[in-house]
Structure 1
Amino acid sequence: MKSFAIAAALLLGLSVAGQAAAADIEVANPFMRAAPMAGGTGAAFMTINNHGAADRLLAAEAGISKSVELHTHVKDGDIYRMRKVESLVVPEHGTAEMKPGGDHIMFIGLNAPMKEGATVQLTLKFEKAGAVVVQVPVLAPGAMAPGAMVPGGGAPGAAMPGGMMHHGHK
């Protein structure tokens, strides 16, 4: 009887102690920056709100590039570098912020330029909640958030406070 109740709760999108369901995950303000050339890179940002048990974002998938990775920024001397991470924590009844200069989803080897105004389908893979599909609008190069102005007309890869930004894996 207990397993039937758990299965019913999961089908209804309800949390079960220690479990999370896709209905517990809410993605707000997703966006990615326009990327002018095929073969290059792109990045997506969003806020992940978790209304259930603690979970971890393990991966992301999209058909727009050769690979998709979860990344963070680390300070290496006076330079900020992007690094691949294996997962991102989404705290119980908490929020995980993916924003420029912080955690983000990286598209490597774009199949085509990403033009402002397009929309990209992105599947987020969570340890407990499973797959969550998100429609990600493509904004102007250098966009910092949906509806926000690009500071100083900046472009992706522009200098960040405290140093320069470089992409590299160590």
Structure 2
Amino acid sequence: MQANFRAARAATIVTLALGGLLGSAHAMAQVDVSNAWVRGTVPAQTASGAFMTLHAHDTAKLVGVSSPVATAELHEMKMENNVMRMRQVPSLDLPKMQNVELKPGGYHVMLMGLKSQLKAGDTVPITLKIEQNGKVIEQQVKAEVRDLTAAAPAAASGAHGDHKH
């Protein structure tokens, strides 16, 4: 009888432990981050941009960004009346199973008040705050610093839109 009690107790503990693990895994935001990079800077430059591709496994929202190297904000650049404008946005929707690109000339992470020069080959830590299923999860990203002339391949030629000189 005591053996049956121990077996039942062990089974209960295993069930509770697995339930806890599965429950916490489900609570974590499932957002893949790829091609994370930051544009390098010259010595006196105090701002730069960070870019990456986000892919949410379930509907989510990017609600904040931070970095120890500077003040970080989520920004959008877009053409309005033939003028390129940049503004801070409070959040960015991440539709289920769709890539959302943070790229030059579009949505990006703005790094302002840089504490030091960003040199090609360095790594910049960025924390993404992602809201999913009513919870905000922080996800760490390490973005490679690229040369200060770097541009995303597709965005490089279209960065000025219809601007003519």
- Tell me the TM-score normalized by structure 2: 0.77
What's 2:162 paired with? 162
Aligned length: 146
**Conserved in 2, the CA contact under 8 Å of 1:50 and 1:92?**
yes
The one-letter code of the counterpart of 2:162 is: G
Contact 1:38 1:111 in 2 (8 A): no
Deviations along 1:93-130, one digit per CA (max 9) or x if unpaired, are 22211111110000011111111110011110111250
Deviations 1:74-105 (A, max 9, x none): 22221111110000110122221111111000
2:49 equivalent to 1:36: no
Q: Structure 1 or 2: larger helix share?
A: 2
Q: Of residues 96, 102, 114 in structure 2, which corresponds to 1:98?
A: 102
Structure-2 change in CA distance of 1:133 and 1:38 (3 Å) = farther
The within-5 A match list for 1:19-34 is 21-22=28-29, 24-34=30-40
Q: d(CA) in 2 for partners of 1:32 and 1:58?
A: 20
User: Is residue 87 of structure 2 the alignment partner of residue 83 of structure 1?
Assistant: yes
1:9 positional shift = 2.3
The CA distance in 2 between the partners of 1:151 and 1:97, in whole Å, is: 14
Given the superposition, is the C-alpha separation of residues 7 and 93 from structure 1 closer, same or farther in structure 2, using an over 3 Å criterion?
Answer: farther
Cα distance between partner residues in 2 of 1:96 and 1:151:
18
Match of 2:13 in 1: none
In structure 2, give the amino acid aligned to 1:9.
Answer: L
Conserved 8 A contact 1:123-1:134: yes
Moved over 6 A (4+): none
1:135 is matched with 142
Match of 1:63 in 2: 68
In the alignment, structure 1 residue 10 sits paired with structure 2 residue 52: no
Between the aligned partners of 2:109 and 2:22, the Cα distance in structure 1 is 31
RMSD: 2.8
Structure-2 change in CA distance of 1:8 and 1:43 (3 Å): same
* Matched residue SS, 1:9: helix
Cα gap change, 1:151 to 1:89, in 2 (>3 Å): closer
Q: TM-score, normalised by structure 1?
A: 0.75
- Between the aligned residues of both structures, percent identity stands at 31
Q: Is the 8 A contact 1:80 1:163 kept in 2?
A: no
